[in-house]
Amino acid sequence: MDQRSFAIIIVLTTIISYLIIRKFFKIAPRYLMYGILGVVTGITIGTIIAWPLSALLGQFGVIVAPYILGLILLVFVEFFIIEGKSILVFLQNQLQRR
């Protein structure tokens, strides 16, 4: 298994398991939107952090970086679901100022 496949498997496993768990709790559409925004933001920030980390740690980084990406992704999804409305209000206020 190459490095890219390993990272993709970790990210997909994180997202799919999260959605399966949330399905049992009957997600409201707004929380699903917050979750999708959290996934996009989490993958972006996670990649920004995990990619250089994989280069710094060498062979060990190949194993550690996808897990760090998955952990950051999970944190962002949870954060956006918990604080989604206040985040969107803040972004809306920032856009109206411009």
Tokens of 64: 């550690």
Tell me, what's the pLDDT at 31?
79
Q: Which residue matches tokens 């760090």?
A: 68
CB 5 within 8 A of CB 64: no
**Torsional sign, CA 7, 79, 36, 86:** negative
Tell me, what's the pLDDT at 1?
57
Residues 6+ apart with CB under 8 A from 54: 3, 61, 62, 64, 65
65-74 per-position pLDDT tens digit: 888 888 898 8
Residue 43 in 3-state DSSP? helix
What is the pTM for the complete model shown? 0.66
